[in-house]
Amino acid sequence: MNAIQPNRAHPTEPVAYRLTVDAYHRMIEAGIFAEDDHVELIEGELRAMPPINAGHAGKNKRLNQLFSRRAQDLAIVAVQDPLTLPEHSEPEPDLMLLRPRDDFYEGTNPTPADTLLVVEIADTSLRYDRNTKLPLYARHRVPETWLIDLKRRRIELYRDPGPDGYRQVLLPDREQFIAPGLLPEMRIQVAELWA
């Protein structure tokens, strides 16, 4: 199988090539990207991600601590790790809850079958997360995605993935308790996200 595949929109137009996850991994192994380059492979295209500001980073740390305390042995908490979506995408969600595995995914990156929850934190990236990444997760059957909107101080829960996106969207208020659908014992009051 070719690592880079042409995408011909019309026979007379220039050919656009899409990277596969395999080609992207070979680029990483070859040292093409610096350690602090923040890129994602989305639908065969390399996307430069904006730098993370203090509010975004702080929310990520808060969620990491909250999830780690509640998950214990129920899930592995992954922070800004790659999620392989065969064959042309490998985003790096802000947080993931993964099915426990003895090797802690040292041999391979997790795939949608390994995910219990994906979390994206958005301030400047809200439109990109909602319009590009969430539909991508749904098409690949990531069971649930939470989108945390820092500017509006709200959380959106996306469940029931399908080819056209998530079929269920919940907008809980601050007093409600929420939990991942696959981990109902991990109850969190929405207000805890903003404390």
Distance, CA of 18 to CA of 44 (rounded, Å): 4
Distance, CA of 52 to CA of 61 (rounded, Å): 12
In the chain (195 residues long), the average pLDDT of successive 10-residue segments reads: 58 77 93 85 91 92 95 95 95 97 95 98 92 97 98 96 97 96 96 89
Smallest Cα–Cα separation from 128: which of 58, 190, 43, 53? 43
SS3 183: coil
Measured over the CA atoms of residue 93, residue 40, residue 150 and residue 164, the dihedral's sign is negative
Query: What is the pTM assigned to this prediction?
Result: 0.89
| Residue 42 tokens, joined | 């989305």
Amino acid 33: pLDDT? 86
Tracing tokens 């090797």 back to the chain, one arrives at 103
Amino acid 100: pLDDT? 97
| Residue 72 tokens, joined | 């214990």
Distance, CA of 154 to CA of 39 (rounded, Å): 26
Amino acid 43: pLDDT? 94
